[in-house]
């Protein structure tokens, strides 16, 4: 599966996704892992997620798609994807299309392991997550709950302003410190956590903690 291109938070930016594919290579020859948030905010969520799903069907061992916090019915009602569907496809077709997408989103995986040493997810770890294998036991299809392990995987953030775990200013889930990450990586025998969910610098990624156990943000 290596080397692999990891992307996050495309948010309906269809042209940006096409640019990524043009720059990094067609999925016929390059492996991709997308960390979620394909819809909302941008104006072409339908094209973005549909194109990636088509690539997943055509190249199942080269395209991998995780679920983000915006692959959720309640979130899409607020941030634009529901409106995009019903405005572009009137006469109940848009409502049906939106429901079909939600059914697909509810089946999407929450994490991936790359090279046995790199944990990838949209948001972050959870105080309820002691062992990586616990993620495999989260049932699918699933609606995103307001709290708990699944919620945290999609919503949590790294933040060293507070020691250990702290309630997130988002009003949902938690933040976690570098100490928590180091202990988690050691316990689970991994070297790196790769996640999205937050805006990064102009280069498209950021290294959050500068030691062996690091977090990257890709956006």
Catalytic residue list: 70
Tokens of 176: 């976690």
Burial of 90 (0-12, 13-18, 19+ CB in 10 A): exposed
Sheet holding 192-195, edge to edge: 111-114, 118-121, 192-195, 214-218, 205-207
- What are phi and psi for residue 78, nearest 5 degrees? -95, -40
Spatial distance between the Cα atoms of 52 and 203, rounded to a whole number of angstroms = 23
- What are phi and psi for residue 176, nearest 5 degrees? -140, 145
Positions of E strands within the chain: 4-7, 31-34, 63-65, 111-114, 118-121, 157-158, 165-167, 174-176, 192-195, 205-207, 214-218
């Amino acid at each position: 599966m290596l080397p692999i291109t990891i992307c996050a938070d495309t948010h309906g930016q269809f042209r940006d996704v096409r640019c990524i594919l043009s720059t990094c290579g067609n999925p016929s020859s390059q492996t991709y892992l997308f960390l979620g948030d394909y819809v909302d905010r941008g104006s072409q969520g339908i094209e973005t997620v549909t194109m990636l799903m088509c690539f997943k069907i055509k190249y199942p061992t080269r395209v991998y798609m995780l679920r983000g916090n915006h692959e959720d019915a309640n979130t899409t009602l607020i941030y634009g994807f529901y409106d995009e569907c019903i405005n572009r496809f009137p006469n109940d077709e848009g409502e049906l299309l939106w429901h079909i997408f939600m059914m697909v989103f509810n089946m999407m995986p929450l994490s991936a392991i790359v090279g046995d040493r790199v944990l990838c997810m949209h948001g972050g770890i959870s105080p309820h997550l002691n062992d990586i294998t616990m993620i495999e036991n989260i049932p699918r299809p699933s609606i995103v709950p307001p709290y708990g392990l699944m919620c945290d995987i999609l919503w949590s953030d790294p933040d060293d302003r507070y020691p250990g775990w702290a309630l997130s200013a988002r009003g949902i889930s938690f933040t976690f410190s570098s100490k928590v990450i180091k202990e988690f990586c050691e316990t689970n025998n991994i070297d790196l956590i790769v996640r999205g969910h937050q805006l990064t610098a102009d280069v498209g990624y950021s290294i959050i903690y500068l030691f062996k156990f690091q977090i990257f943000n890709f956006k």
